[in-house]
Amino acid sequence: MVTRLGFLASGEGTNFQAIIDHLKLGILSECKAEVLISNVKGAGVVKRGEKEGIRVEVIPYETREVFERKVNSILEEEEVDLLLLAGFNRILSKEFVEHWKGKCLNIHPSLLPSFGGLGYYGLRVHEEVLNSRCLVSGCTVHYVTEDVDMGPILTQAALKTFDSDPRTLQRKINLLEHLTYPKAIQMHVDGLVSIEEIRNREEVSEWENVWEERQEEYLEKRRDEWERVWGEKLEVVLCKYVIR
């Protein structure tokens, strides 16, 4: 059965684009992008969605109750199975989150539970990481619950933080997110994880080996960007600095 994906996004949409690219390359399987909903007219993600030819809806944020009612109506109309928050800049209500329990994912630019929760977004996350003298940082994909950024974790990826300023670290982790979010989606679709449990680590490890081989095509297409941001060859970066 094909898992129907819906997106909630507010910004530039680079994670949205990474997921779409994984779908187009056939790396993400057994799922399909159905609808993108944004609360920001003219956002970069809206233009990306229109370019990719999926349904795009812009819903101005009047009140949370009205907004969420309209969102749910569209998601139900499209029979969405899995809702993906991709740079969505609003806090969802307890009722909305409960309705989508186990069927809504978010990505956060730190190794949760550190540097997460209310107020931790954008550049501030990376400033706090470096101010705390952390040797590693990364990103986390988790199920969305009432507690902001504290839902059960699907997967994480990490990198070494040395020689980084906040903006450079942000760019590096953003690239890491583009690998990690599609992986988490496939883990959910394949039944490796759920909001209640994660399958045994040995099974997940075997799955990850296969996934990394499949993802090589996407990485190769992004080689120039990775090497520009890191200043080193992609192979060196993946071997020396990144933990996937």
Whole-angstrom Cα distance, residue 145 to residue 180?
A: 20
Instruction: Determine which helix (DSSP H) or strand (DSSP E) holds 143, and give its type and residue range.
Output: strand 136-143
Which candidate in 22, 99, 108, 142 is catalytic? 108
Output the six-digit token pair for 79: 């029979």
* Cross-strand pairs, 36: 7, 56
Output the six-digit token pair for 125: 């996350």
What are the residues whose beta carbons fall under 8 Å from the beta carbon of 115, sequence distance 6 or more?
A: 125, 128, 129, 137
Q: Residue written as tokens 């993906």?
A: 84
Length of the chain in terms of residues written: 244
- Residue 155 CA from chain centroid, whole number: 11
φ/ψ of residue 32, rounded to 5: -145, 135
Contact 40, 11 (CB under 8 A): yes
Is 99 an active-site residue? Answer: no
What residues are annotated to the active site? 108
